[in-house]
Amino acid sequence: MIFLGIESSCDETGVALIEAHASGVPQLRSQALYSQIDMHRAYGGVVPELASRDHIRRVLPLAREVLADAGVSLDGIDVIAYTQGPGLAGALLVGAGVAVSLGAALERPVWGVHHLEGHLLSPFLSADPPVFPFVALLVSGGHTQLMRVDDVGCYALLGETIDDAAGEAFDKSAKLLGLGYPGGPALAELALAGNPVRFDLPRPLLHSGDLNFSFAGLKTAVMTTLRKLGEQPGAQDRADLAASTQAAIVDVLARKSLAALKSTGLARLVVAGGVGANAALRARLGAESIKSGFTLHYPELALCTDNGAMIALAAAMRWQRNGPQTDSNHHFNVRPRWPLATA
């Protein structure tokens, strides 16, 4: 079975083909991605209307590209999967519209996929795939969640952020430091030259006794610290503040993940979403996994941020688990807000 996946929930247009058999890990046949980052950079963040218009420009050429790369004809597609939510409504509608039109034209089923399900299953495409059950730490620009994952489609929310997401904390702190969009990778790079213990920044909810997160206070602390440093903070001050900010985010994510493993009794941690690309987070979790004896699984670096492969994969794994669920009406309904536990 060949699954075409289309991702258009935010600022990346991703299309991919996955091949799956009744059992065994599905295989990536081809994928193509267009990142809108350069376009949004001028505005310091994602402009939803520009994002939607750009998805329209990119999605069909990318689809042609993956079909050509894999040597698959349009007729060779068995199922079309698209990101149904959560995300920007207009951006989601582009992927949904293309997926449903293709499905209607080809007389193939069309499945809406939850974006976060795509992220948390994406490590199955890596060289070291996890097995169920596991704890998933989902850390992206819009979400920070710990989930218990027992199987495909069996997701229980253990804890989540009560305000900003971890990626948002990176992005907003980076903006305060005068770094460009997206802030996460830029802040991580500046942090390389900095001292992570120079500034004692808050780690909210660390001892709350639950698995929730709060990052909104961090940007306020970064702002206050910058103000104390005066009009023109020096290069070392800025690097130290970046390193201390990253250390605070990484510390909270790592400790809460450990607490989730402890409370569930599970010994496997999957880390997914854009912030999962962060080298400091990987180093910290790697050290903790050796100390505490759990295994760690990441998607390949190229599949950490948004992509079409994870959407096709989620559909393929649902098919392997549940068999065909044919949607013959080709109705579509995007869900900009959609809790994963109800997917």
Q: Which of residues 94, 98, 188, 190 is near ligand KG4 by CB under 6 A? A: 188
Q: Which is nearer to Zn ion, 140 or 225 (CB)?
A: 140
**Angle subtended at Cα 167 by Cα 57 and Cα 304, rounded to the nearest 5 degrees:** 60
CA atoms within 13 A on the CB side of 138: 27
Q: Which is nearer to ligand KG4, 161 or 278 (CB)?
A: 278
Structure tokens at 211: 């698995």
Q: Rounded to the nearest whole angstrom, what is the least distance from the CB of residue 37 to Zn ion in the complex?
A: 14
The count of chain residues that interact with ligand KG4, using the rule CB under 6 A, is: 19
7 binds ligand KG4 (CB under 6 A): no
Distance from the Cα of residue 5 to its chain's centroid:
15
275 binds ligand KG4 (CB under 6 A): yes
Binding site for Zn ion (CB under 5 A): 140, 306
170 binds, among ligand KG4, Zn ion, none (CB under 5 to 8 A by kind): ligand KG4
Spatial contact of 119 and 297, defined as CB atoms under 8 Å apart:
no
Alpha helices in 71-180 (DSSP H): 89-106, 115-121, 166-176
103 binds, among Zn ion, ligand KG4, none (CB under 5 to 8 A by kind): none
Q: Which of residues 90, 95, 183, 194 is near ligand KG4 by CB under 6 A? A: 183
Give the contact letters, 284-313, x = binds to ligand KG4 (CB under 6 A), - = no.
---------------------xx-------
Q: Rounded to the nearest whole angstrom, what is the least distance from the CB of residue 119 to Zn ion in the complex?
A: 6
| Residue written as token pair 């149904």 | 84
Q: Rounded to the nearest whole angstrom, what is the least distance from the CB of residue 12 to ligand KG4 in the complex?
A: 7
83 binds ligand KG4 (CB under 6 A): no
**Whole-number Å distance between alpha carbons of 28 and 53:** 28
Cα-only R_g, the chain: 20
Q: Which of residues 5, 14, 130, 274 is near ligand KG4 by CB under 6 A? A: 274
182 binds ligand KG4 (CB under 6 A): yes
Q: Which is nearer to Zn ion, 97 or 299 (CB)?
A: 299
| Residue written as token pair 């979790």 | 285
> What type of residue is 296?
L
DSSP 341: G
CA torsion 218→175→339→210, rounded to 10°?
-10
140 binds ligand KG4 (CB under 6 A): yes
**Whole-number Å distance between alpha carbons of 274 and 35:** 13
Terminal-to-terminal C-alpha distance of the chain: 23
Give the contact letters, 142-181, x = binds to ligand KG4 (CB under 6 A), - = no.
x------------------------x--xx----------
Structure tokens at 119: 């992220």
Q: Rounded to the nearest whole angstrom, what is the least distance from the CB of residue 182 to Zn ion in the complex?
A: 12
Q: Rounded to the nearest whole angstrom, what is the least distance from the CB of residue 144 to ligand KG4 in the complex?
A: 10
Write down how long the chain is: 343
Give one DSSP letter per residue of 193-240, joined into a string: TS-TTSS----TTTTSSSS-B--HHHHHHHHHHHHHT-SS--HHHHHH
Spatial contact of 289 and 261, defined as CB atoms under 8 Å apart:
no
141 binds ligand KG4 (CB under 6 A): yes
Q: Which is nearer to ligand KG4, 33 or 261 (CB)?
A: 33
Instruction: Please report, as ranges, the residues that interact with ligand KG4 according to CB under 6 A.
Output: 10, 140-142, 167, 170-171, 182-185, 188, 273-275, 277-278, 305-306
